[in-house]
Structure 1
Amino acid sequence: MNEILLMLQLFTVIPIQKEIPYDRERFTKTAVLLPILGGVIGLVEGGAALLLQMLFGPISSILFILMMDAFLTKGIHLDGLADTCDGLFSGRDRKTMLEIMKDSRLGTFGALSLLFYLLLKAALLLEFDRVMILRLVLLLPVIGRSMMVFGAFRSVYARPHGFGGIYIGKISMLSLVISSGGALLYSSVLLGISGGISWIAALFLIFLMKQRVEKRLGGMTGDVLGAFMEVSQVLFLLVYLLMES
């Protein structure tokens, strides 16, 4: 229980009024709990989405949901997406790409990636009815975090030190199976067989991205895991929408 509370303290703005000691080695083992953290976030956002749908139309409610997700998670993963795009699309060598990704300033590619990502995610959600949007709001945070576990599995940390090194290359096979199996089951329960197939398709596409990134950077970083978390949600929505069309 303390592990989940600590993850909420570190990865969200949810006020947890409890002092929990941080142990790096012990925290590494919380990777298996990342989809559960996503489930908690999904429940909070799902409750808010239900209220928003009663007060506003589809466009406004979805925009508020996206804003809430960004603020609730401190924009950590969106920042990872922007930094990853700034680095990978810079066309520089490996060392320079890593330096660009570490730079706190937002570059052109990072800004464009955030703009197009949020527009595409909103547009895809608008393709569904209200009930399906609620299910997706519950599900997407779980999917994204299961892909983070996969991204960190059997990889090398591309930096000498940093927060991403807590998970990258330190995920056990058991943790991967539990987190992936849980996300796959949750997708299938909420959306049926199409949800399960869409999760598998998104996993395959993230696998291809992972191979490409590891070749360019010589490993993974926390920013890339954040990018996987965000991008996998859009990939899932795209596949699921095509299957249901």
Structure 2
Amino acid sequence: MAKDRARHWRSRSAWLPAACSTKWRRSTRRASPTPTRRWSQRPSVRLLAGAPIALEFLTPLRLRRVQTYDDRTFAEALGWYPLIGLLIGVCMWAMDRALSELLPPVPTAVLLVAFLALASGGLHLDGVADTADGMAVQGDRAERLGVMSEGNTGPAGVMALLLVLMAEWAAIVSLDGSVRAPALIVAPALGRWAVVPVGLLFRPARPRGLGHAMQTAMLPIAAPLATLFGVGAAVALFGLAGVVLVIAATVAALLIASLAARLLEGVTGDVFGAAIEVSQVVVWLSLVAAGMHGWAEPLVG
């Protein structure tokens, strides 16, 4: 019976079309790159690829020769922003320990502020200046956005930069005791986490650009991942007081975003940068106030 069935299929193969008769032959062509592209399009793979992109975008470090970012690339990197902030904070803590053995608190704080500006490539401070210049313009929305996109720093931008830098310096000088080390670590992380509520609650002011990318192409898992790093670090270092720090950073970021959105009918990448800087300062100032009254006792000293 088996021999008759085999003979039957051999006889049928004689009249099958050529395309059908070669269906089961091993192909001699090179493998199609489609499976590789499909693999690279998986959310988990794209999310992991966002880590080096976040490092390149938020710091002057360059891991690759070509840096070309689209909307999806920016969105995938968002989940890693607080982790980059944690790395910057750890570097600040290590630098503070080394400098405190050589210099008094005031010049140490100046060098820490300088390191913080260099570690971000001045990206967020540029956002502070551009946002202040745009909000100071006496004109319509288009004129404000035009001033922000020019890149020239005006009087309002210079004043905003001075205020932010002086606030950072004063806060770092005032940090003392067991609060100082975890404060230096957690503030850069929470500042960079603050882009999450801004991106979720405010629409972009431009149809293109970083602000648009943050809000329209963000992966569903990017915001939870950023929250895991940012909020998780605050709670791990300060316990329940870390929740208060998260609220303080969120309120500061939303306040900046709401003021900008009222004038610009949305937010831009510069507004995100300003929100990061202001939230970071607010976290430090909150810890200074809490340290004065004994309200914040870090779990890790």
CA distance in 2: counterparts of 1:81 and 1:138, whole angstroms: 22
Asked if 2 retains the 8 angstrom alpha-carbon contact of 1:149 and 1:179, the reply is yes
Q: How far does the alpha carbon of each residue in 1:157-212 deviate from its partner, in whole angstroms, 9 at most, with x for none?
A: 21232233321343355433332343222112223322321221331232233233
3-state SS of 1:55 partner = coil
Task: Give the 3 Å change call, closer, same or farther, for CA 184–152 of structure 1 in structure 2.
Answer: same
Greater shift, 51-60 or 217-226, is seen at 51-60
Which residue is equivalent to 1:165? 212
Which residue is equivalent to 2:274? 227
Which residue is equivalent to 2:44? none
CA distance in 2: counterparts of 1:102 and 1:27, whole angstroms: 19
Greater shift, 133-142 or 169-178, is seen at 169-178
Letter in 2 for 1:85: A
CA distance in 1: counterparts of 2:76 and 2:145, whole angstroms: 26
3-state SS of 1:67 partner = helix
Which residue is equivalent to 2:33? none
- What is the Cα deviation at residue 73 of structure 1? 1.2
Q: 1:179 aligns with which of 213, 226, 229?
A: 226
Q: How far does the alpha carbon of each residue in 1:125-154 deviate from its partner, in whole angstroms, 9 at most, with x for none?
A: 222216533322211111111001221224
Which residue is equivalent to 1:77? 124
Are residues 1:40 and 2:78 paired?
A: no
Which residue is equivalent to 1:196? 243
* Structure 1 gap segments, 5+ residues each: none
Are residues 1:212 and 2:259 paired?
A: yes
- Equivalenced residue count is 244
Please provide the CA RMSD for this pair.
2.2
Note the 1:148-159 alignment, pairs <5 A: 148-159=195-206
- What is the Cα deviation at residue 225 of structure 1? 0.0
Greater shift, 112-121 or 151-160, is seen at 151-160
- What is the Cα deviation at residue 229 of structure 1? 0.2
Larger radius of gyration: 2
Percentage of identical aligned residues: 25
Q: 1:111 aligns with which of 146, 158, 161?
A: 158
Task: Give the 3 Å change call, closer, same or farther, for CA 3–169 of structure 1 in structure 2.
Answer: closer
Q: 2:191 aligns with which of 137, 141, 144?
A: 144
Q: 1:128 aligns with which of 157, 175, 178?
A: 175
Which residue is equivalent to 1:7? 54
- For normalisation by structure 2, the TM-score amounts to 0.73
* Structure 2 gap segments, 5+ residues each: 1-47, 294-301
- What is the Cα deviation at residue 14 of structure 1? 2.7
CA distance in 2: counterparts of 1:57 and 1:162, whole angstroms: 43
Letter in 2 for 1:10: F
CA distance in 2: counterparts of 1:23 and 1:163, whole angstroms: 10
Task: Give the 3 Å change call, closer, same or farther, for CA 239–132 of structure 1 in structure 2.
Answer: closer
CA distance in 1: counterparts of 2:222 and 2:55, whole angstroms: 19
Are residues 1:50 and 2:97 paired?
A: yes
Which residue is equivalent to 1:90? 137
Greater shift, 69-78 or 172-181, is seen at 172-181
CA distance in 1: counterparts of 2:230 and 2:55, whole angstroms: 19
Greater shift, 63-72 or 186-195, is seen at 186-195
Task: Give the 3 Å change call, closer, same or farther, for CA 3–87 of structure 1 in structure 2.
Answer: same
Asked if 2 retains the 8 angstrom alpha-carbon contact of 1:187 and 1:195, the reply is yes
Greater shift, 90-99 or 21-30, is seen at 21-30
3-state SS of 1:126 partner = helix
- What is the Cα deviation at residue 228 of structure 1? 0.2
Q: 2:146 aligns with which of 95, 99, 122?
A: 99
CA distance in 2: counterparts of 1:105 and 1:148, whole angstroms: 24
